[in-house]
Amino acid sequence: MSLQVISIILGSLTIASALMVILSKHPVRSVIYLVVTFFFITSMYIMMNAQFLAIVNMIVYAGAIMVLFLFVLMLLNLNKEVEPVTNRGAQISALIAGGSLFLVLISALKETLILGQNYRTQDSSIGLVKELGNLLFSKYIVAFEITSILFIAAMVGAILLAKREKQIIE
């Protein structure tokens, strides 16, 4: 019972903070709210006993990526009100589109087979670090190694892109 209440509260808070991400005018606030949203999502992972992902989400997403965002915002000195304005028509059409998307997704949900399944009845050991580690380093080892190449590429790309043009010429 208490879990049910907790999950409802968590869910509403997640949605609320996500809404704040897109509603707040100031980009820095958006980032903060996004970090909050990620916290809530992490807690949901914990509820489903996906411990490894919860930790990764916490560290990588909320910690590293979001800080990167903040960093860039600071770097560009955008923390004042230079936010471009959107016109009303686009907002309304986006709202309608988003709303109908939501409705469609919900109606799709009605057809899913897992309706009413309790997550606690499931085997809860799969989200543990050990289990995932086994899987990662056996079945997905190639993909895992390739991610490192992706990271190098991303790193090189980021450096190259962010460098000033003068420096490229030199």
Partner 1 sequence: MAKDLTLILILALPLIGFVINGTIGKKLPKVLVGGLATSVVFVAFLLALTLFNGLNGVQIVRLFEILNYDQITINASFQIDALSVWMTLIITGIGSLIHLFSMGYMSHDPGYHKFFTYLNLFIFSMLLLVLGSNYFVLFFGWEGVGMCSYLLIGFHYNDLQKGKANSLAARKAFIMNRIGDAGLLLGLFMLLGQFGTLEFQKIGTALIANPALQGGAMLLITLCLFIAATGKSAQIPLFTWLPDAMAGPTPVSALIHAATMVTAGIYLTVRSNFLFELAPFTKEIILYIGLATTLVAAFMALRQNDIKKVLAYSTVSQLGLMFVALGFGAYTVALFHVTTHAFFKALLFLGSGSVIHGMHEEQDIRKMGGLAKLMPITHFTFLIGTMAIAGIPFLSGFYSKDEILAQALHHNPAVYAILVVAVTMTAIYMFRLYFLTFHGAFRGGDALRAKVHESGLSMTLPIIVLAFLSVFGGLLNLPGLFFHGAAHWFDHYLSAGTFGLSEVHNAHLDFNTSIGLMIFASIIALGVLFWALRNYAKKGALAKADDQMSAWETLSAKKLYIDEIYDLLFVQPLLKMSAFISNVFDIQILRNGVYALANGVVNTAAQTRKWQNGLLSSYLFWMVLGIILFVSYYILKISVWH
Partner 2 sequence: MQAANSIGTSLDFFLFVAFALFTIGAIGAMTRKNMIVLLMCIELMLNAVNLLLVTFSTYYGSGDAQIFVFFTMVVAAAEATVGLSIIIMAYRNLKSIDIDMFNQLKN
Q: Is 84 in the site for partner 1 (CB under 8 A)?
A: no
Cα separation, 134 vs 140, in Å, equals: 9
The footprint of partner 2 on residues 9-38 (CB under 8 A) is 11, 14-15, 18-19, 21-22, 27, 30-31, 34, 37-38
Minimum CB distance to partner 2 smaller for 5 or for 170: 5
Nearest to 58 by CA among 69, 45, 71: 45
Q: Scan residues 99-158 and list those touching partner 2 (CB under 8 A).
A: 99, 101-102, 105-106, 109, 112, 114-120, 122-124, 126-127, 131-132, 135-136, 139-140, 143, 147, 150-151, 153-155, 157-158
Rounded (10°) CA dihedral 101, 61, 17, 125: 80
To partner 2, the closest distance from the beta carbon of 83 in angstroms equals: 6
Query: Which one-letter amino acid corresponds to residue 103?
Result: L
100 binds partner 1 (CB under 8 A): yes
Considering CB distances under 5 to 8 angstroms, the limit depending on partner class, which of partner 2, partner 1, none binds residue 111?
partner 1
Choice from 72, 74, 79, 145 touching partner 2 (CB under 8 A): 72
Cβ at position 93, least distance to partner 1 in Å: 7
What separation in angstroms does the CA of 65 have from each of 53, 117, 142, 148, 158? 15, 34, 25, 17, 14
Tokens representing residue 56 in the block = 């990764």
- Listed in sequence order, the residues at least 6 apart from 52 whose beta carbon sits closer than 8 Å to its beta carbon are 127, 128, 129, 132
> The tokens 């560009």 sit on which residue?
76
The Cα–Cα gap between 19 and 88 comes to 18
Pick from partner 2, partner 1, none: which does 95 bind, CB < 5 to 8 A by kind?
partner 2
Q: Does 61 bind partner 2 (CB under 8 A)?
A: yes
Q: Scanning residues 108 to 127, which ones bind partner 1 (CB under 8 A)?
A: 108, 111
Cα distance between residue 151 and residue 64, in whole Å = 14
What lies within 8 Å, CB to CB, of 129 at 6+ separation is 51, 52
67 is an interface residue for partner 2 by CB under 8 A: no
Q: What residues make contact with partner 1 under the rule CB under 8 A?
A: 86, 90, 93-94, 97-98, 100-101, 104-105, 107-108, 111
